[in-house]
Structure 1
Amino acid sequence: MALTEQTIKALKAEGFLHNRGTENFSARIITGNGTLQAERLSQLSNLSETYGDGMVSLTGRLTVEIPGIPYSRIPAFREEVASLSLKTGGTGAKVRPVVACKGSTCIYGLADTQSLAQRIHTAFYEGWHEVIFPHKFKIAVGGCPNSCVKPELNDLGIVGQRMMHLSPECKACGRCISEKRCPMGAIKQREDGKRYINRSLCNNCSRCLDTCPFGKINADEPRYKLYLGGRWGKQKRYGTPLPLLYSEEQLFPLISRILNLYKEEGRPGERFSSVVERLGMDHIARVLHETV
């Protein structure tokens, strides 16, 4: 049969992407935070061998695709996927599947990124699934300023950080100044020999925390820096940071306000990056913090 553009578009909305030059499709299986139990991996392997071409593809947004599914077999595939409590999707002008780095286990991680990403996924990918936005909206959670998952290039980037504090009783031994202990070179020496943290250079990575043999470096509890309006693709934009750091409890109402702002202020087909540039960050920050 000849597939129509209307059929291809309708299937894409359900998470079935047309394989170029064929009548086959890739089924996009959603993960909540980029992780899957071993049992799920086995199920995906069986699905691919039964319905697809025996391959499983990993996407840039930490979902999984099973390619090579013939159009005629999609109904049977849907039924089996539903019986396994798996879900297809991740397309359209909606909140997209949330991505997270491995901060939950990484030695540099300052936050349980996978747990947080799962909560955001449940609240906004699933909870707002029927909400249509001007365009797609991507969220990424990073565990530290290393930015391995590139949060700053998403519509909303969330980055775990810990603000460091250097005690006035610092003995100026110099252990914390090396590049290994402070990659940003943010710990400086005054004329009187005392050390201080240059806040314009410090990125709150906490690498210096355990370097002081006298215990004179302390850290706040983990909080989160938010970047708005990042974008990757034909047009690129580095997300603009909000001026504050936020607790995990503050994140969820703030994300709701960000999404509502985009829905109300965005024009049809307009990416959030363009909304941020059009409205200006001063205006956006003021609106978001009116009820914080």
Structure 2
Amino acid sequence: MALTQTDIARVKALGFLRNRGTELFSGRIVPAGGVFTVEELAAAAELAARFGNGKVAPTTRMTLEIVGIPYEQIDQAIAFGEALGLRFGGTGAKVRPVTACKGTTCVFGSYDTQALGREIHQRYYLGWDKVALPHKFKIAVGGCPNSCIKPSLNDFGIEGRRTPEGVRYQIYVGGTWGRHTRVGDPLPRLVEQEEILPLLEKTLLWFRENAFQRERLGAAIDRLGTAALLSALEGDGLPARREAILAAPLKQRP
């Protein structure tokens, strides 16, 4: 069949990216906390055998791509995956799949990174699935300053630190990696674990309210100033206006 741009855009929003030079697609399966169970891996293999070309490719965001799915079988693949507990996704201007290092079991890990990754996955990857953002928003959960998961190169990065008082967390905001690299701004103080999710939500709300459509968080920070974001993160104005911020249209460039 001859695919239209509308066809391609429809399935891209569902987590399916066209394989170059073909009318086949790779579908991204998203894990919770960067971890797949044995049952989920078996289901992914069955998906690849039934609908793809028998290959499964890991991505840098810890998803699995089922390669070579014909366009006309994508809806069937989604339904088959859902029946086995698998979820396709990981594309678009929204919260992207959460990455978490193996700090849960690593000898250098300072806390349970995968548990925090699962909580963020539930509350923000799934919970904000219908929230349109100005651009993609990537979150990384790191267990120590070795920085294997590159927290400082994500829109919101978490890095565990051992201190004399116990584990504290360095938060980075506005990091990007790729054609335009920007190291995230470290918050000026280490934070307690119970502060992480409120800070993440405030960052998301600030991003949605202040960034132009198709502008990454780091670019918005550079345009408006780090002090503007830091001031908003320390106050309670953003959570108080949460519903209004989420209901407002995205800002357009002048």
The alignment's TM-score, normalised by the length of structure 1, stands at: 0.79
Aligned partners of 1:75, 1:231: CA distance in 2, in Å?
33
Find the residue that maps to 1:261 and give its secondary structure.
helix
Whichever residue aligns with residue 232 of structure 2, its letter is V
Q: Which residue does 2:168 correspond to in 1?
A: 223
Q: Which residue does 1:205 correspond to in 2?
A: none
Find the residue that maps to 2:20 and give its secondary structure.
coil
Q: Which residue does 2:161 correspond to in 1?
A: 161
Find the residue that maps to 1:27 and give its secondary structure.
strand
Aligned residues: 237
Whichever residue aligns with residue 37 of structure 2, its letter is Q
Contact persistence 2:40–2:85 (CA under 8 A)? no
Q: Which residue does 2:75 correspond to in 1?
A: 75
**1:50 Cα offset (Å):** 1.0
**1:160 Cα offset (Å):** 0.5
Runs of 5+ unmatched residues, structure 1: 164-218
Runs of 5+ unmatched residues, structure 2: 238-254
1:139 aligns with 2:139: yes
**1:290 Cα offset (Å):** 1.7
**Same amino acid, percent of matched pairs:** 48
| Structure with higher helix content | 2
Instruction: Give the structure with higher Rg (CA).
Output: 1
Contact persistence 2:160–2:167 (CA under 8 A)? yes
Q: Greater shift after overlay, 113-122 or 71-80?
A: 71-80
Aligned partners of 1:253, 1:268: CA distance in 2, in Å?
24
Aligned partners of 2:210, 2:40: CA distance in 1, in Å?
40
Residues 274-285 of structure 1 correspond to what in structure 2 (within 5 A)?
274-285=219-230
Aligned counterpart for 2:231 among listed residues 277, 286, 291: 286
Contact persistence 2:176–2:182 (CA under 8 A)? yes
Aligned partners of 2:32, 2:147: CA distance in 1, in Å?
20
Aligned partners of 1:250, 1:3: CA distance in 2, in Å?
47
Residues 41-190 of structure 1 correspond to what in structure 2 (within 5 A)?
41-163=41-163
Q: Which residue does 1:19 correspond to in 2?
A: 19
Aligned partners of 2:75, 2:217: CA distance in 1, in Å?
35
Structure 1 stretches (4+) deviating beyond 4 angstroms? none
Aligned partners of 1:14, 1:274: CA distance in 2, in Å?
27
Whichever residue aligns with residue 282 of structure 1, its letter is A
1:262 aligns with 2:207: yes
Q: Which residue does 1:214 correspond to in 2?
A: none
**1:248 Cα offset (Å):** 1.6
Q: Which residue does 2:3 correspond to in 1?
A: 3
Q: Which residue does 1:188 correspond to in 2?
A: none
**1:91 Cα offset (Å):** 0.6
Aligned partners of 1:121, 1:276: CA distance in 2, in Å?
24
C-alpha root-mean-square deviation of aligned residues, in Å? 1.1
Contact persistence 2:43–2:81 (CA under 8 A)? no
Find the residue that maps to 1:162 and give its secondary structure.
strand
The alignment's TM-score, normalised by the length of structure 2, stands at: 0.91
**1:242 Cα offset (Å):** 0.5
